[in-house]
Amino acid sequence: MKLKSYLFLLTACLLLSCSDDEQEQIEEQQVQLPEVVTETNSSEAVVTLTSIEIKGSIVKTEDPLQSYGVVWSNDPDPTINDNIIEVDVEAQNLLKTQQSANSNLEFSVVVDDLDPGKNYYFRIYAQNEAGTAYGEELAIETLSLAGTKWDFHFVHSNSQTSGVQVEWDAVVEFYEDGTAFYTEPASGDMYDFNGFYSLDGNTLTYNLTGDPENTAYILNGTIEKDSITGTFWEGEENFTAQKQ
């Protein structure tokens, strides 16, 4: 009788031991959420009037990634349901393999087509079978047009100039109150004008002379990063500008 009891206890212990081992194996096989790290900080981010570069990394993991990149919004706590820029997973995994199998997966994303002088919220994200992980939130403001100086280049080929193309350079400074000062360094103060401007997103409307009736010198342009391209002379002539 004692022998039977001993065998029963031994069998039970073996079964429990096997169950514990199996449980440990199951736990080891469970996919864990990715661990993401935000490498950019608000003070060191590469920022222009319409773009912000965000850098991040994903800690080395054996679990395959389904998607990763940057999410962003005008409001705090952006998720994959807001604006999203997804990195090419296959290309990045190949790059990581070529560099070092033991290294973290590092990447950077440039978020562009933003509006000047606006605050945005960003988070690194990564997805696998376990779900979606997010990094530390960043709040970064794009540069404002106000308080900046620009080098403008004008090209005028209108028939009123007898078919001769005329080009000239100017410097424009934009101010907080919506006004702007225009000057042509090569002409002294002969062509100095106090005008005004407005922004609609990244679209600039700039009345160069300050005279609403002088529509020929109302400039319409698109700001992209640190440059502006657009037209004047009621859309017939072109200009470009570069931020100093």
Domain boundary among 91, 121, 141: 141
Domain match, 221 and 163 both: yes
Domain match, 161 and 210 both: yes
Output phi, psi for 90, to 5 deg: -65, -45
Q: How many domains does the chain have?
A: 2
94 burial via Cβ count (<10 Å: 0-12, 13-18, 19+): exposed
- The DSSP 8-state label assigned to residue 188 in this structure reads T
Q: What's the residue count for the chain?
A: 244
Domain match, 115 and 65 both: yes
In a domain, 15, yes or no: no
Task: For tokens 């509006």, name the residue.
Answer: 115
Please enumerate, as own/partner, the contacts of 231-238 that have beta carbons within 8 Å and a separation of 24 or more: 232/154, 232/208, 233/156, 233/158, 236/158, 237/154, 237/155, 237/156, 237/157, 237/158, 238/154, 238/155
Position 27 scores a pLDDT of 47
CATH code of the domain containing 159? 2.40.128
Which domain, by its residues, includes 80? 36-141
Q: Which two tokens stand for residue 83?
A: 């604006």
Domain match, 60 and 114 both: yes
CA-based nearest residue to 114, from 137, 143, 135, 75:
143
Taking only the tens place, the pLDDT of each residue in 187-236 is 999 999 999 999 999 999 999 999 999 999 999 999 999 999 999 999 99
- Cβ neighbours of 233 (radius 10 Å): 18
| 98: pLDDT strictly greater than 70 | no
Position 18 scores a pLDDT of 47
Domain match, 53 and 137 both: yes
Taking only the tens place, the pLDDT of each residue in 185-195 is 999 999 999 99
